[in-house]
Structure 1
Amino acid sequence: MPAAPTARAVVLDTDIGTDVDDAMALALLLGLPGVDLLGVATVYGDTALRARLARRYGALAGLALPVRAGEGKPLSGREVWWAGHEGSLHTGLDGEAYEDGPAVEWLVRTVAERPGEVDVLAIGPLTNIALALEADPGFAENVRTLWVMGGAFDDVERTEHNFRSDALAAHRVFSSGIRAVVTGLEVTRRVKVLEPHLRRLGAAGALGGALAADIDQWWKFWDEQWNVPHDPVAVLSMVRPELFTLSEPGTVLIETEGEDAGASVFRPGGGGRTRLVRDLDTAEVPEEIVRGIVAAGTGREPAAAEA
């Protein structure tokens, strides 16, 4: 009898709490089969609040999720953008305990203990990742692959929030030679979460109900009836690669100064080890996101979409 496949070991680095897509990404990771989420590091702004919120989402899925608070100040010195609603719908959040110790030290230690085995999924500004590379020159090689949601690689927009929020950190990460796959705005914006998706999520237990409320709050913040699941798309690029098309390897260059700080350019070839997500299955990706989150909320394996 063949052995069961080994679960993919993953560390999540996130600025959960502002754009609701981070919470969606965490819930998706908790619902997808074949993922061993080793823990969560938070980044950018009030990382303690973000850590409590991540811990709460783990609890809603019935898990005591290891979470650590990371670096709050961007290396670039850019002011943190804080929407003001972070965690406001979650009562008793101050009572959520998270792990002691700096998140960056934990990141370095976790991948060093299992070199080449742990994927790092970075869906916020890259401050923690840059600091991990600074703390341990071996970090770049110890990480199996760094999966990033960030950047804009077409002619529509010059910058994207995660790279813009700490352009210096992004520059240091992509200058390190770390093996990476990047999902940019030009890809994520091809997918939307709509009202039918929201209804299905809201019916998925305590986790689904809390997430649906956070999504609704985000919609009201922008006066929209939809949102783009940027970070869940990046999750699926790692877990369901058959739904995506990647570029050949190359190098990502980051502008660090002036009004275009955070602007990203991809140059193929040249010995680079970064790939861009170029295309995706626009029908299956949103369905897979909803199925995975519903599974996390209901404690069952993802099933086919309901009619």
Structure 2
Amino acid sequence: MTATRRIVIDTDPGLGEPGSDIDDGLAIALALRSPEVTVEALTVVNGNVDVDTGVDVARRLGERLGHPDLPVVRGADRPLLRDMAPVRALFDDVIEDHPVRTAAEDRLGPTTDVTAAEYLVELAAAFPGEISVLAIGPMTNLALALRLDPGFAKNVAEIVMMAGSATGYAQNITVVGDFNAYVDPEALAIVLAGGAKLRMVGIDQTSRVRLTRDDAAVLSRGDAFGRWAGECALAWIEFLSRAFPLREEHRDACFLHDPLVVAAFLDPSLCTWADAHVVTDTTSELARGLVVADRGLALAPPPGPPNASVAVDTDVPGFGRLFLDRLTGTSAGD
């Protein structure tokens, strides 16, 4: 029997939390329902939601998916240098009238006494070359792990991250910055320079994969988790269509940014990869979170040797088949 690959998912999950994106939770579900991998833990970082909400969401997801003992480790509650208030303010206009959770839904605490950075360092050191990290939130926990122990870069098998854009501008939280990079570009810069084996799946690729209303209906015909996830997906699509009425891409679908990262780890052939020297801007307010992936295509020599493999194309139908098959047992077809 082939041994499964061991992963930690570093995440800022909001699935089921009013006004929060659902793709992290669906990525976690995809991983937990894939026999090729063993999910060692979920490490939680501030991002889509605050870190304590993320811990709560992650634990509830583990329970819903039949993994109540899955370790959930609390990580950074803020970016390395910046305050989150300006980031939260960007969403105020679209989520202020969205329902909030009731006080009766008590927060659940973390399952370990160590921080996410400490956990990552200790696990990778105990099993060098065996643990891959799928980073689908801001990179703060990973940067703190590298600060704590630079040897983490050599001990971790691979970091596959959802960040940047290798083939164009991000066009996400700003014109040039995707959410994960924009929230903590200083952390991303540390990870890019840290020496770990890196793969980057950018928003240029993740914006090509979507969950439609029809797909949500397919989820709803599945098991208890599928029914709940389908309801959450339909509610999220409806929310996006009202919040962004002029954006065609939000009318009948939502993006599956983070599930593509998991899928690309499960089956690297779903993406086309290219070596690149990747850097991010940490100095300019106008270009905060800008990620440049130089693949040596410019006339000038690249600024440095390749430090990451970046996704430059995606098999969109192939991803759709894998995603729905794993979550429901039903293929999406072409």
TM-score by length of 2: 0.82
Q: Any conservation in 2 of the 1:11–1:39 contact (CA below 8 Å)? A: yes
> Is the Cα contact below 8 Å between 1:14 and 1:41 reproduced in 2?
yes
- 1:94 is aligned to 2:106: yes
Alpha-carbon offset, residue 127 of structure 1: 0.4
Distance 2:103 2:2 in 1: 39
Report which stretch shifted further, 71-80 or 187-196: 71-80
Q: Which amino acid aligns with 1:291?
A: D
* CA apart distance, 1:90: 9.6
Q: Is the 8 A contact 2:135 2:160 kept in 1?
A: yes
Q: Secondary structure at the match of 1:98?
A: coil
User: Does residue 261 in structure 1 map to residue 326 in structure 2?
Assistant: no
In the TM superposition, residue 89 of structure 1 has moved relative to its aligned partner by 6.9
Aligned match for 1:214, one of 211, 232, 240: 232
2:211/2:254 contact within 8 Å kept:
yes
Relative to structure 1, the CA distance from residue 281 to residue 7 in structure 2 (aligned partners, 3 Å threshold; closer, same or farther) is same
Q: CA RMSD in A?
A: 2.3
| Aligned positions of 1:227-238 closer than 5 A | 227-238=254-265
Alpha-carbon separation, structure 2, partners of 1:211 and 1:256:
37
Matched, 1:275 2:279: no
**Structure 1 pair 5/89, CA: closer, same or farther in 2 (3 Å)?**
farther
Q: What is the rounded CA distance, in whole Å, between the counterparts of 1:276 and 1:304 in structure 2?
A: 27
Q: CA deviation at 1:198?
A: 0.2
Whole-angstrom CA distance in 1 between matches of 2:123 and 2:240: 38
Counterpart CA distance in 2 for 1:199 and 1:208 is 9
Question: The residue matched to 1:275 in structure 2 has which SS?
Answer: strand
1:69 pairs with 2:74: yes
| Contact 1:246/1:279 (8 A) holds in 2 | yes
1:38 and 1:268 mapped to 2: Cα distance? 33
For the residues of structure 1 that align with 2:101 and 2:65, how far apart are their CA atoms? 17
> 125, 136, 157: which is aligned to 2:149?
136
Give me the whole-angstrom Cα distance separating, in 2, the residues matched to 1:286 and 1:306.
8
Q: Is the 8 A contact 2:209 2:256 kept in 1?
A: yes
- Per the TM alignment, residue 216 of structure 1 is displaced from its structure 2 partner at its CA by 2.5
- Post-superposition offset of 1:26: 0.5
What residue number does 1:48 align with?
52
Matches within 5 A, 1:188-207: 188-207=206-225
**TM-superposed deviation, 1:104:** 1.5
Do 2:24 and 2:259's aligned partners in 1 also have CA atoms closer than 8 Å? yes
Report if the CA contact (8 A) 1:53-1:87 is conserved. no
Distance change (3 Å), C-alpha of 1:73 and 1:230: same
Q: Name whichever of 185-194 and 215-224 sits farther off.
A: 215-224
State the 1:43 CA deviation.
0.5
Residues 53 and 107 of structure 2 are in contact (CA less than 8 Å); yes or no, is this contact kept in structure 1? no
* CA deviation vs aligned residue, 1:243-300 (integer Å, no higher than 9, x gap): 221102x321100121211000012374333000111111111221122122xxxxxx
Structure 2 unaligned regions, length at least 5: 15-19, 171-175, 242-250, 297-303
Q: What TM-score does the superposition give when structure 1 sets the normalisation length? A: 0.89
- Counterpart of 2:301 in structure 1 is none
Q: Name the CA distance, whole Å, in 2 between partners of 1:90 and 1:195.
A: 27
Which structure 1 residue ranges, 5 or more long, are not aligned?
295-301
Q: In the alignment, is the contact (CA less than 8 A) between 1:126 and 1:162 conserved in 2?
A: yes
- 1:30–1:293 CA contact under 8 A, matched in 2: no
Does the 8 A contact of 2:271 with 2:311 survive in 1?
A: yes
CA distance in 1, matches of 2:155, 2:332: 38
Indicate which of 9, 15, 24 corresponds to 1:12: 9
Question: Once structures 1 and 2 are overlaid, which stretch shifts more, 166-175 or 150-159?
Answer: 150-159
Q: Deviation string for 1:31-55 (max 9, x for gaps)?
A: 1121100000110152121111111
**Percentage of pairs with the same residue:** 30
Aligned equivalents of 2:332, 2:220: Cα separation in 1: 15
